Amino acid sequence: METTEKSLRRTLDRLFVPLTVGPTLIWIAAIIVYPTLKLLWSSLFWENPLTRESEFVGLRNFKRLLLDPSGTLGMLNPSFIAFTKNTIIYVGCSVTFSFLLGLGIAILLNKDLKGRGWFRTAVIVPWILPYVMSGLMWRWMFEAKNGAINGLLVQTGLLSEKIAFLSDGTLAMMALIIADIWVFTPFIVIILLAGLQNVPEQLYDAAEVDGASRWSRFRNVTYPFLKPSILVALTIRIIFDIRALDLVWVMTKGGPGKSTEVWASWLYRTSMEFQRTGEGAALGVIMLAVTFAIVAILYSVFGGTPYDS
């Protein structure tokens, strides 16, 4: 009895690695690798939305997305240019402003203040709420007639008449960016705060003794230690913003007109509303490639993996 139990134990121990890693790998293969391969495969087909029959079309889906439909040689598709521009404005503005705001808040929270934990809790909440709820909440805030923002501005006399924020292309984009900043600044705060806590206290004291100015203290003491966190915060923020559809979908649906249509909403519309799954998949492939390219560029520019030094 004893020996069988022992040999069973030994066998189980020998199987430790396959038994702990195996299920995850099988799961990941089924739920990530297979869909990703299917994405690449689907991007090469044209599927009839009614009959579900599909036909191999090679790279024609990519051509339709990227090139001018009128067939002018070498010209890009105007929709592609417009939606790419929207995506860049949306991602660029919200990442920049939420980064600067988040950095400021992180620096304040890093001070040795009483009630710091309480502040941190209060600051974190917007990020944990469902994005749909946040999006609709902001849509309600920006509402033309009964929205709180118009209410505050008009009822306090700062504005003479109400503005239909979400009916104007530029203002709608601004509203989206504000909502996005509201949602994602806490993420920046958390990541940068973790980085700030790695700066050795003595370095600040030394810098203070040297009479370094506030800016030069930041530049020479804080920044080098913060750089890895900045890289991570920016990378995750950018790739997350390119893919995130929730806010755009519930606030503007890409409108008015196509003024807030971004890649993510374009992908959704193409594949789900217009049922052009092949084109949707092709756009998915492009987003996948762009995401990996951005990660590669950011890491090669900032160099090395964080905490190497």
Residue selected from 164, 174, 288, 298 as contacting other proteins according to rule CB under 8 A? 288
User: Strand, coil or helix: what is 273?
Assistant: helix
61 binds other proteins (CB under 8 A): no
Q: Return the sign of the alpha-carbon dihedral for residues 245, 250, 251, 255.
A: positive
Instruction: Record the tokens describing residue 61, joined without a space.
Output: 């889906």
Identity of the residue, 68 or 295, whose beta carbon is nearer to other proteins in the bound complex:
295
Residue choice 48, 76, 159, 205 for contact with other proteins (CB under 8 A): 205
Residue 31 binds to other proteins (criterion: CB under 8 A): yes
Q: Which of residues 69-128 bind other proteins (CB under 8 A)?
A: 104-105, 108-109, 111-113, 117, 119-126, 128
Close Cβ partners of 207 (under 8 Å, ≥ 6 residues apart):
216, 217, 220, 221
Q: Which two tokens stand for residue 108?
A: 């304040």
Question: Residue 68 or residue 291: which is nearer to other proteins going by CB?
Answer: 291
Name the segment binding other proteins (CB under 8 A); options: 65-73, 90-98, 215-223, 262-270.
262-270
Q: In angstroms, what is the minimal distance from the CB of 74 to other proteins?
A: 27
Q: Which amino acid is at 301?
A: V
Per the CB < 8 A criterion, the answer to whether 45 and 282 are in contact is no
**Shortest separation between residue 201's beta carbon and other proteins, angstroms:** 7
The span from the CA of 154 to the CA of 8, in Å, is 77
Task: Find out whether 241 and 180 touch, Cβ atoms under 8 Å.
Answer: yes
Contact 262, 248 (CB under 8 A): yes
Positions 140 through 199 that interact with other proteins (CB under 8 A) = 140-141, 143, 145-148, 150-151, 154-155, 182, 185, 187, 190-191, 193-195
Which of 62-70, 76-84, 88-96, 276-284 is the region at the interface with other proteins (rule: CB under 8 A)? 276-284
Contact call for residue 2 and other proteins (CB under 8 A): no
CB of 71 to other proteins, least distance (A): 26
DSSP 75: P
